[in-house]
Amino acid sequence: MFLQIAFIFISLGSAFSIEVKIDDGILKGEISENKYGDPFHSFKGIPYAQPPLGDLRFKAPQPIEPWNGVRQADRLGSPCYQYDMFIVPYPPPKGGEDCLYINVYSPNVTTNELYPVMVWIHGGGFVSGRGDEYDPEFLVRKGVVFVTFNYRLEVMGFLSLGTEDIPGNAGMKDQVAALRWVKNNIKHFGGDPENITIFGESAGGASVSYHLISPMTKGLFKRAISQSGTANSWWPNTFRARDRAIQLAREIGCNSTDDKEIYNFFKVQPVEAFLKSRVVVTYAQFAKESPNVYFGIVSEEKFGDNEVFFQGDVYDVLRNGIHDGVDVINGYTEDEGTLYFASGYNISRIFKQANQFLEFYVPEPLTRQVSLLKQLDIGKQMKEYYLKNAVVSRDNIEDLLKYINFEMFVYGALTWQRFVAKNNNNNKIYLYKFGCKTERNIAVNASNDAMELFTERLMVGHADDLPYFFPLGMDVDMNSETYRIIDRATTLWTNFAKYGDPTPIMEMAAVP
């Protein structure tokens, strides 16, 4: 019997606190009120790996040392060092390198019957985001244990020199360490280690999609939801990563071509030196006014006994399907491409490029794979298909948006679905298009440019699904239509976590 005895008591002051014992030691969390449901148990800022400092920078995360006595778990851990790519202009950077913390929210840690577990992987283009932005109130009330965590970002998480010192994918290995932590410890919080669902959005969705094929994650979860991001989209994947690492070293002051010297240089730079590193390696990427992920997931080389998160070509690997028996929901929002216009890029220049260069309409991977003449043909066909050859302006922005939806998100999602369906390893797979429209859809509000561009109708932009699963600081009246939609969305997701089926009762399937 693996249930732990937990002690509930009232501490001095008025807050309720609660203790659990995990493998690493005792944690003291708190009992949190929930205006949308019953109180729940919160444990915040739990370290799941050693701080990746000094010699541990760029390396796979290392297990932590157990602690003696009681560790406070009522305060959030630091976010990983970052700038916020979703607010334009960018606010000052925040966070630090000591950031590998996990948060657990449970309906009841002393339950007799273990709850299903949902582990959230945050998005933010592998440069922004933190687990604890995603509050638990909407999900815990549905009877699941909810977990969030931070992982290393940008250069600290995704630099790759292709050497043993900087192999790449450190941020993904952080995610794996967090998933292993959940598998090993969640029973102490009333969670069922045999009933774990991972889910994530954007870079988090792409991460989920990668965990379905990584050799490091087999057996760590039973179900997965990949929102607005798949492993086979172009943007989560970094090509010529080594060239970028060398280029970055040069840009910030190291001209060496010796791997060890470059590593020693990177290792001692202040974390600030790496912020907003936009290292491109093709002229097309350099010239195009377009958001990009400069440090993402790489195909790793194996060094000694070190674990490899991912090796090979995503499509080749997908040809063997995903982990056996894992069920998946995969999908996107109606107007994903609004992101393109809300990322701080110059919209007049976007229009200018879209009108002047057929290459504008060449899907990113093809800019590396086919000749320029062929690209111009492809661009011509795309422009005919999506724009009917009209001059791009604010008047026909929706046509351009459709192309961008396709190029950045929809193609990846649909192709992923087809590959997994075709190479099915006992997987149930669902596809969705998210179209909820209420005052909670505020993705375009993050940028004045985007807000001025999309005035005709309420958009369902990239990340506009999030406010239906998490409060995100926006209160909602429980008697409103909006709340009914939130209840529906969270019911679908938690049903999937519980039963592997979002609509176990058929009548639910009919409701939009």
Residue 129's SS3 state is coil
Looking at 170-178, 190-198, 356-364, 463-471, which segment touches ligand NAG (CB under 6 A)?
Answer: 190-198
- Binding of ligand NAG by 251 (CB under 6 A): no
Which sign does the torsion angle of CA 298, 299, 303, 309 carry? positive
Give the footprint of ligand NAG on residues 143-172 (CB under 6 A): none
Cβ-proximal residues to 262 (8 Å cutoff; 6+ apart), any chain: 161, 245, 246, 249, 254, 256
Distance in angstroms (rounded) separating the CA atoms of residues 89 and 395: 25
- Binding of ligand NAG by 108 (CB under 6 A): yes
- Binding of ligand NAG by 352 (CB under 6 A): yes
Determine whether 462 is an active site residue: yes
CB of 111 to ligand NAG, least distance (A): 5
E strand or H helix at 41: strand 37-47
Which of 457, 454, 438, 442 is CA-nearest to residue 404? 454
Cβ distance to ligand NAG smaller for residue 180 or 352: 352
Q: Residue 43 is encoded by which pair of tokens?
A: 């444990």
Determine whether 188 is an active site residue: no
CB of 151 to ligand NAG, least distance (A): 26
Q: How many CB atoms lie within 10 A of CB 394?
A: 13
User: x/- string (CB under 6 A) for ligand NAG, residues 439-458?
Assistant: ---x--x-----x-------
Distance in angstroms (rounded) separating the CA atoms of residues 211 and 496: 18
Cβ distance to ligand NAG smaller for residue 4 or 110: 110
- Binding of ligand NAG by 194 (CB under 6 A): yes
Residues forming a β-bridge with 148: 103, 120
Radius of gyration of the chain (CA): 23
- Binding of ligand NAG by 89 (CB under 6 A): no
Q: Which residue has the tokens 């109708």?
A: 457
Q: Which residue has the tokens 């409103």?
A: 480
- Binding of ligand NAG by 88 (CB under 6 A): no
User: Of the residues 41, 122, 188, 462, which is catalytic?
Assistant: 462
- Binding of ligand NAG by 232 (CB under 6 A): no
> Could you tell me how many residues of this chain bind ligand NAG (CB under 6 A)?
18
Q: How far is CA 483 from CA 36, 492, 493, in A?
A: 10, 14, 15
CB of 452 to ligand NAG, least distance (A): 9
First to last CA, the chain: 42
Q: Which of 52, 116, 125, 191 binds ligand NAG (CB under 6 A)?
A: 116
CB of 30 to ligand NAG, least distance (A): 13
Residue 331's SS3 state is strand
- Binding of ligand NAG by 195 (CB under 6 A): yes
- Binding of ligand NAG by 192 (CB under 6 A): yes
Q: Which of 255, 257, 264, 448 binds ligand NAG (CB under 6 A)?
A: 255
Q: Which of 348, 356, 371, 479 binds ligand NAG (CB under 6 A)?
A: 348
User: Of the residues 154, 300, 336, 407, which is catalytic?
Assistant: 336
- Binding of ligand NAG by 253 (CB under 6 A): yes
CB of 349 to ligand NAG, least distance (A): 4
CB of 244 to ligand NAG, least distance (A): 17
Q: Which of 111, 285, 290, 417 binds ligand NAG (CB under 6 A)?
A: 111
Q: Which of 112, 356, 371, 479 binds ligand NAG (CB under 6 A)?
A: 112
Whether 114 and 187 have beta carbons less than 8 Å apart is answered as yes
Q: How far is CA 149 from CA 23, 47, 432, 462, 466, in A?
A: 18, 10, 26, 21, 16
**Biggest CA-to-CA distance, the chain:** 74
| CA 153, chain centre distance (Å) | 11
Give the footprint of ligand NAG on residues 479-498 (CB under 6 A): 498
Instruction: Label the pairing between strands 16-22 and 70-72.
Output: unpaired
Catalytic sites, residue numbers: 202, 336, 462
Q: Which residues bind ligand NAG (CB under 6 A)?
A: 108, 110-112, 116, 192, 194-195, 253, 255, 346, 348-349, 352, 442, 445, 451, 498
